[in-house]
Amino acid sequence: MIERARELVKDFEYGKEDVRKATRHFIKQMNEGLQRDGATMGQIPSYVTSVPNGTEKGLYLAVDLGGTNLRICSVHLLGNTKFSIIQSKCAIPSDLMLAKTASDLFAFLAKEIRAFLKANHNDQLKSHMIKVESGHTNQKACSDDFLRLGFTFSFAFEQHALNKGSLLYWTKGFNIPDAIGQDICGLLQTEIDNLHLPVIVAALVNDTVGTLLARSYEAPGTTMTLLGAIFGTGTNGAYVEKMQNLTKLELSDQPPPEEMILNTEWGSFDNALDVLPNTPFDSIVDSESIHPGIQMFEKRISGLYLGEILRQTILDIVPLSTTIVIPKESPLYQQFSIDTSFLSIAAGDTSPALYVTRKELLQTLDIEASHEDARAIRELVLSIGRRAARLAGVAIAGIVIKSGRLLPSPQNSIPNVGDKSSVVSTQQLLSNDRKIPEKLPKNFLERFYQWIQRTFSSCFEPKPTLMQTPSPLKVEAAGIVDIGVDGSLIEHYPDFEKIIRTTLRDIEEIGLEGEKRIRIGIAKDGSGVGAALVARMADLRTGKP
Ligand code: BGC
Q: How many residues does the chain have?
A: 545
**Ligand 1 in contact with 67 (CB < 6 A)?**
yes
Rounded CA-CA distance 265/43 in Å is 7
Q: What is the pLDDT of residues 127-152, one digit of tens each?
A: 888 888 877 665 554 566 789 999 99
Angle between helices 280-288 and 303-317 (to 10 degrees): 120
**Is the shortest distance between the CB of 29 and ligand 1 below 6 Å?**
no
pLDDT in tens, 18-28: 999 999 999 99
**What DSSP string describes 330-362?**
-GGGSTT-S-HHHHHHHHT--SGGGHHHHHHHH
58 pLDDT band, cuts 50/70/90, is confident
Q: How far apart are CA 157 and CA 170, in angstroms?
A: 9
d(CA 226, CA 305): 27
Ligand 1 within 6 A of 208 CB? yes
Give distance in angstroms: CA of 348 to centre of ligand 1. 26
* Strand stretches in 264-302, DSSP E: none
pLDDT in tens, 406-429: 987 655 433 322 222 223 322 222
Who wins on pLDDT, 220 or 175?
Answer: 175
Answer whether 357 contacts ligand 1 (Cβ < 6 A).
no
Which atom of ligand 1 is closest in space to residue 153's alpha carbon? Answer: 9
Q: Is 405 exposed, middle or buried (0-12, 13-18, 19+ CB in 10 A)?
A: buried
**Ligand 1 midpoint to CA 452 (Å):** 25
Residue 432: pLDDT above 80? no
Dist. CA 448–CA 437, nearest whole Å: 20
171 touches ligand 1 (CB under 6 Å):
yes
pLDDT at 475 over 70: no
Cβ of 128 closer than 6 Å to ligand 1, yes or no, is no
pLDDT for residue 48: 87
Q: Is 206's C-beta closer than 6 angstroms to any atom of ligand 1?
A: yes
Q: Candidates 68, 154, 299: which one to mutate for ligand 1, based on the most atoms within 8 Å of Cβ? A: 154
The per-residue pLDDT for 441 is: 33
According to DSSP H, which parts of 169-246 are helical? Answer: 184-194, 207-218
Question: 372: closest CA among 329, 303, 291, 318?
Answer: 318
Atom of ligand 1 nearest to the CA of 155: 9
Query: Is 166 within 8 Å of 112 (Cβ atoms)?
Result: no
Is residue 298 within 6 Å of ligand 1 at its C-beta?
yes
What is the rounded average pLDDT of the residues 514-520? Answer: 96
How many A from CA of 261 to the centre of ligand 1? 16
Q: What is the pLDDT of residues 306-340, one digit of tens each?
A: 999 999 999 999 999 988 889 999 999 999 999 99
What are the E-state strand segments in 206-274? 227-231, 235-242, 259-263
CA dist., res. 385 & res. 382, Å (int)? 5
User: What separation in Å is there between the alpha carbon of 313 and the centre of ligand 1?
Assistant: 26
pLDDT digits (tens, 9 = 90+) for 176-214: 999 999 999 999 999 999 999 999 999 999 999 999 998
Helix, strand, coil percentages for the chain (3-state, nearest 5):
45, 15, 40
